[in-house]
Amino acid sequence: MPSAKTEGPLLMLISLNQQRMYVYDGNGFVLQTRVSSGRAGHETPVGIYSILEKKVDHTSNIYLDAKMPHMQRLTMTGIALHGGVIPGYPASGGCVRLPFDFARRFFNMTDINQRVVIAPDVNAPALFDHPRLFSALPSVAQTETGGDRAERTDRTAIQAGVDAAEALLGVTSAHAATDPAARTQETAAEARRAERQALVDAVATAGERRTAAAEGEAAAQRAITDAKAAAKARRSDAKAADRAAAAAKAALRSQERDLKKITARLAKTASRMRADELEALRASETAERDRLAGLTQEVQRTADAAKAADAAVKAADGAIAKAANDLQAAKAETKTAAAAETAATKAVAAFDRREQNRGLPVSVFVSSATGLVQVRQGFEPVIEAQAAIENPDVPLDTFIFSAVDWKDESKTDLRWQATEVNEYSTSFSSFEDESVSYSRKKTKAAGSVRMPSGTDTDRAARTLARIKLPKAVTDRIAEVVKPGSTLIVSSYDVSRSETKYAGTDFIVQMPEVVAKISKPTPRPKPVQVVEDDGGSSCFFFCSPYSSNKSKERDKLRDRKRERTSGGKSSVW
């Protein structure tokens, strides 16, 4: 492969029908090469990918420790570009093989996040411009002259940062929206600083809330302990009062029996008793009645005391229940406050990651399947919102719009390319018939290379005109868009089985291949076999078919010798 100088981000187009890869940069076609994609049963999935990882020496953890030199990962589940044998037809396990020497040289030409399209037939990118494409924010120097520059307050930028922080944390405040005409690179930077400060303040506020909640929980725990101790004392008092009341009632009943006896004796024997005995008996009756009155009062007092003790027990139980409710509320508040602190801390960390990724290209994806617009940068989600799509029931055509360079030194407007991606064959396939012989496939592959046809820019314009993105999204994109950024529109959704893994970009498979990371397949251990009937010995992998395959190879080799030696067999 001759050395190729490129300008701008690369776009790799892989035609499954032609078994070719075509490489384009900001100025157009760069180079092409033969490839070998997935064989029948292991087809390479059609779709839009990004280079996620690059590794000079890679060993597969899925395919029997297979060597994959100069690997450039496209998915987290086993699809990659790498050096390999190119037989002239689809033969891989799903990856896209490149010629070894080409893969080695091409490895140094590509960058992480550059796009790779795999389709039956591919369309070459075309220069494209449209008012719906993104532009970068201008600087203050580009929007104001020295004579017209007036004093400017940072209040608008600071308020914008606070708005963004509040939106991220799920809170709102009542104030007027910022003036979009005043947004520049400087005000956006100030807004980001204010946004981060608001997030940091939210962390501090949530931490104070969590501390106060923890103190409230401790106080509630102490209150419930005290309430339980008080309830225990009240129950002890209630038991003592009940015992006193029972004793008083018993004494009253005994006194009533004694009085009843005296009264009965007076009624029966008063006429026969002496005067002094009668007097003594009546005095005894009076004394018993006096004691009975006192015991009645004591019974009433102890009954009141028991009742009061029971009320105290109920109050203590109520205090325990209230303290328990307070404790549960305090625990819930502690949990909520801790969750708020965690969320705020994560928001700061996510903000810092986005700031670290600001120098990287931005990826935007719009799907008519979901109606969503999603933005990623540095393989990290940035924002997601609902997009307005005209005639949403009509699927969008699939296009990649790639920002290839700045238009001028102002670095505000971008040059774009449009590339159409079609999931169906648009020409006859030389490789779709698996019954075609090996020699015919090689002959067809060695024929003249048909360059991809150009993208229909009118169709691209009609597709893009149907899409309107929310202002919050376009404002966020305008802060970070740069050469290398891409806008993908499609009727498909992103591949959920791929984007669930960390460190990936928008992957659009047509249709989606539900894949998961497989467990490594162990490589069979070689075992030496004793001499067979033919007197030969061999090494083979632990498979019941290996010895049979070896014998078949020997037979084919002997027949070949017979043809080359005039029908006489030669012995090695």
pLDDT in tens, 153-163: 444 455 555 55
Confidence of residue 413 (pLDDT cuts 50, 70, 90): very high
Q: How far is the C-alpha of 446 from the C-alpha of 433, rounded, in Å?
A: 17
How many other C-beta atoms can be found within 10 angstroms of the C-beta atom of residue 544?
Answer: 6
Instruction: Give the number of C-alpha atoms closer than 13 A to the C-alpha of residue 325, restricted to the C-beta side.
Output: 5
Look at residue 538 and tell me whether its pLDDT is greater than 70.
no
Please check whether residue 295 is in contact with residue 255, taking contact to mean a CB–CB distance below 8 angstroms: yes
Mean per-residue pLDDT for 476-500?
A: 93
Confidence of residue 24 (pLDDT cuts 50, 70, 90): very high
Question: For 151, left (φ over 0), alpha (ψ -120 to 50), or beta?
Answer: beta
Look at residue 432 and tell me whether its pLDDT is greater than 80.
no
Q: Is residue 556 in a domain?
A: yes
Residues 349, 234 share a domain: yes
Look at residue 249 and tell me whether its pLDDT is greater than 90.
no
pLDDT in tens, 7-17: 889 999 999 99
Q: Give me the amino acid identity at 163.
A: D
Look at residue 516 and tell me whether its pLDDT is greater than 70.
no
Q: Which domain holds residue 77?
A: 11-119+362-509
Give bridge partners of residue 116 from the DSSP assignment. 12, 49
For residue 378, the 8-state DSSP code is T
pLDDT in tens, 30-82: 999 999 999 999 999 999 999 999 999 877 665 555 788 999 999 988 899 99
Question: Domain total for the chain?
Answer: 3
Give bridge partners of residue 563 from the DSSP assignment. none
Domain end among 319, 338, 354: 354
- Mean pLDDT comparison of 376-380, 540-544, 550-554, highest-scoring range: 376-380
How many other C-beta atoms can be found within 10 angstroms of the C-beta atom of residue 92?
Answer: 24
How far is C-alpha 234 from the geometric centre of its chain's CA atoms?
Answer: 56
**Which helix (H) or strand (E) segment is 369 a member of?**
none
Residues 234, 339 share a domain: yes
Mean per-residue pLDDT for 243-261?
A: 80
Tokens coding 127: 């220069």
- Mean pLDDT comparison of 77-86, 166-175, 557-566, highest-scoring range: 77-86
Q: Is residue 391 in a domain?
A: yes
Task: Output the pLDDT for position 201.
Answer: 96
Look at residue 293 and tell me whether its pLDDT is greater than 60.
yes
Domain end among 509, 536, 556: 509
Q: Strand, helix or coil at 479?
A: helix
Task: Output the pLDDT for position 177.
Answer: 36
Please identify which residue in the block is written with the tokens 């027990």.
313
Task: Output the pLDDT for position 165.
Answer: 53
pLDDT in tens, 321-331: 888 898 899 89
Look at residue 340 and tell me whether its pLDDT is greater than 50.
yes
More confident residue, 510 or 534: 510
Residues 367, 343 share a domain: no
Task: Output the pLDDT for position 168.
Answer: 53
- Side-by-side strand order, sheet with 11-15: 28-34, 20-25, 11-15, 115-119, 47-50, 508-509
Question: In the predicted model, what is the mean pLDDT of the chain?
Answer: 81
Look at residue 172 and tell me whether its pLDDT is greater than 50.
no
Residue 442, phi then psi, degrees to nearest 5: -65, -40
Q: Is residue 466 in a domain?
A: yes
Residues 484, 396 share a domain: yes
Q: Give me the amino acid identity at 109.
A: M
Please check whether residue 404 is in contact with residue 482, taking contact to mean a CB–CB distance below 8 angstroms: no
Mean per-residue pLDDT for 89-95?
A: 93
Residues 381, 502 share a domain: yes
Q: How far is the C-alpha of 572 from the C-alpha of 564, rounded, in Å?
A: 14
Residues 291, 208 share a domain: yes
Confidence of residue 388 (pLDDT cuts 50, 70, 90): very high
Task: Output the pLDDT for position 146.
Answer: 43
Task: Output the pLDDT for position 254.
Answer: 84
Residues 6 or more apart in contact with residue 498 via CB below 8 angstroms: 75, 76, 77, 504, 507, 509, 515
Task: Output the pLDDT for position 74.
Answer: 94
Domain end among 354, 382, 414: 354
Look at residue 522 and tell me whether its pLDDT is greater than 70.
no
Tokens coding 117: 């399209």
Look at residue 237 and tell me whether its pLDDT is greater than 70.
yes
Q: Is residue 152 in a domain?
A: no
Indicate which CATH number applies to the domain containing 292: 1.10.287
Residues 367, 349 share a domain: no
Residues 330, 374 share a domain: no
Residues 391, 279 share a domain: no
pLDDT in tens, 25-40: 999 999 999 999 999 9
Task: Output the pLDDT for position 164.
Answer: 56
Q: How far is the C-alpha of 46 from the C-alpha of 419, rounded, in Å?
A: 15
Lowest-pLDDT range of 110-124, 221-235, 532-546, 551-565? 532-546
Task: Output the pLDDT for position 313.
Answer: 84
Look at residue 532 and tell me whether its pLDDT is greater than 50.
no
Residues 403, 283 share a domain: no
Task: Output the pLDDT for position 279.
Answer: 78
Give bridge partners of residue 453 from the DSSP assignment. 123
Look at residue 110 and tell me whether its pLDDT is greater than 90.
yes
Residues 6 or more apart in contact with residue 488 via CB below 8 angstroms: 48, 363, 364, 365, 366, 398, 399, 400, 401, 506, 508
Q: Give me the amino acid identity at 267.
A: A
Confidence of residue 433 (pLDDT cuts 50, 70, 90): very low
More confident residue, 68 or 389: 389
Mean per-residue pLDDT for 177-193?
A: 76
The full 3-state SS of 218-286, as one line of letters, equals: HHHHHHHHHHHHHHHHHHHHHHHHHHHHHHHHHHHHHHHHHHHHHHHHHHHHCCCCCHHHHHHHHHHHH
Residue 561, phi then psi, degrees to nearest 5: -65, -40
Q: Strand, helix or coil at 98?
A: strand
Task: Output the pLDDT for position 61.
Answer: 60
More confident residue, 203 or 268: 203
Residues 59, 28 share a domain: yes
* % of the chain residues with pLDDT over 90: 49
Q: How far is the C-alpha of 248 from the C-alpha of 294, rounded, in Å?
A: 10
Task: Output the pLDDT for position 65.
Answer: 57
Look at residue 178 and tell me whether its pLDDT is greater than 80.
no
* Residue 78 Cα distances to 40, 96, 220, 506, angstroms: 17, 11, 55, 16
How many other C-beta atoms can be found within 10 angstroms of the C-beta atom of residue 24?
Answer: 24
Q: Is residue 571 in a domain?
A: no
How many other C-beta atoms can be found within 10 angstroms of the C-beta atom of residue 170?
Answer: 8
Confidence of residue 569 (pLDDT cuts 50, 70, 90): very low
Mean per-residue pLDDT for 389-398?
A: 94
Task: Output the pLDDT for position 383.
Answer: 92
Task: Output the pLDDT for position 77.
Answer: 87
* % of the chain residues with pLDDT over 70: 77
The full 3-state SS of 318-358, as one line of letters, equals: HHHHHHHHHHHHHHHHHHHHHHHHHHHHHHHHHHHHHHHCC
**Which helix (H) or strand (E) segment is 181 a member of?**
none
Q: How far is the C-alpha of 75 from the C-alpha of 501, rounded, in Å?
A: 9
**Maximum distance among all alpha carbons in the chain?**
168
Residues 6 or more apart in contact with residue 443 via CB below 8 angstroms: none
Task: Output the pLDDT for position 559.
Answer: 61
Please calculate the CA angle 349-354-355 and round it to the nearest 5 degrees: 95
Confidence of residue 140 (pLDDT cuts 50, 70, 90): confident
Q: Is residue 1 in a domain?
A: no
Look at residue 381 and tell me whether its pLDDT is greater than 50.
yes
Look at residue 412 and tell me whether its pLDDT is greater than 90.
yes
Q: Is residue 399 in a domain?
A: yes
Indicate which CATH number applies to the domain containing 374: 2.40.440.10
Residues 101, 204 share a domain: no
Q: Is residue 86 in a domain?
A: yes
Please check whether residue 402 is in contact with residue 505, taking contact to mean a CB–CB distance below 8 angstroms: no
Look at residue 302 and tell me whether its pLDDT is greater than 60.
yes
Confidence of residue 520 (pLDDT cuts 50, 70, 90): low
Buried-exposed string 27-64: b where 16+ CB fall within 10 A, e elsewhere: eeebbbbbbbbbbeeeebbbbbbbbbebeeebebeebe
Task: Output the pLDDT for position 257.
Answer: 82
